[in-house]
């Protein structure tokens, strides 16, 4: 699975497909995942100001990644990552959900809630959907080497309200381990995590005021 897809599953109930955190916040996490996918594939880097810089403008094989890269090519030099996370987060939940529907791993439906139409993506295989959460919890419970991609996922989860979800059955030392793992990221991915925290903080503050 791609990074944003794994964040998608971590943010959902693996049986019902209902989000375990607000969709708007989960969507910003997925936006961070989409940016990280481009970093990992060396299509973009991040400068010292926290702005994404396009390194390779050739089309990615994934159509959603291609769409995100095209947007970055048009405006990357004018916005920092927190702005991009907030902007891409407007649509990331539905875009990643659609990507996963096309891949055949979720079933899409809509529900009416008050005056809104809610998009629900129900996993077709509960075990497959729960695996990212299971794997991340194991990293917090065991002192083993953590792949960079999983360290990134844990860093994002820490800042989008999934920390408690992952720590439910973890030992007392897990919270400290989570912070250490998130702090071990290479600069580009660390910047995405940091700016995701800023974007989420701004969104929460705006909602409260």
CATH of the domain at 112: 1.10.3630.10
pLDDT tens, N- to C-terminus, the chain (209 residues) = 999 999 999 999 999 999 999 999 999 999 999 999 999 999 999 999 999 999 999 999 999 999 999 999 988 667 999 999 999 999 999 999 999 999 999 999 988 776 778 889 999 999 999 999 999 999 998 888 899 999 999 999 999 999 988 998 888 889 999 999 999 999 999 999 999 999 999 887 775 54
Q: Is residue 118 part of a domain?
A: yes
Q: Give the residue numbers spanning the domain of 58.
A: 3-127+186-208
Q: Is residue 137 part of a domain?
A: no
Instruction: State the pTM of this model.
Output: 0.93
Q: Is residue 142 part of a domain?
A: no
140 contacts 4 by C-beta, under 8 angstroms: no
Total domains in the chain come to 1
Q: Is residue 17 part of a domain?
A: yes
CB neighbour burial string for 61-77, b if at least 16 within 10 angstroms, e if fewer: ebebbeebbeebeeebe
Q: Is residue 133 part of a domain?
A: no
Q: Is residue 168 part of a domain?
A: no
């Amino acid at each position: 699975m791609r990074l944003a897809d794994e964040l998608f599953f971590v943010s959902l109930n693996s049986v019902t497909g209902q989000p375990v955190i607000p969709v708007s916040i989960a969507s910003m996490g997925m936006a961070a995942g989409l940016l990280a996918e481009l970093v990992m594939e060396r299509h973009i880097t991040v400068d010292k100001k926290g702005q994404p810089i396009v390194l390779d403008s050739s089309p990615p094989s994934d159509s959603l990644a291609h769409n995100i890269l095209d947007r970055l090519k048009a405006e990357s030099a004018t916005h920092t990552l927190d702005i991009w996370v907030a902007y891409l987060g407007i649509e990331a939940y539905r875009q990643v959900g659609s990507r996963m529907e096309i891949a055949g791993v979720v079933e899409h439906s809509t529900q009416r809630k008050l005056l809104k139409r809610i998009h629900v993506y129900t996993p077709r295989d509960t075990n497959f959907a729960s695996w990212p959460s299971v794997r991340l919890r194991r990293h917090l419970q065991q002192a083993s080497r953590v792949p960079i991609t999983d360290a990134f996922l844990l860093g994002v989860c820490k800042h989008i309200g999934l920390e408690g979800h992952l720590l439910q059955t973890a030992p007392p030392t897990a919270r400290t381990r989570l912070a250490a793992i998130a702090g071990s990221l290479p600069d580009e991915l660390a910047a995405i995590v940091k700016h995701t925290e800023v974007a989420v903080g701004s969104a929460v503050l705006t909602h409260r005021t």
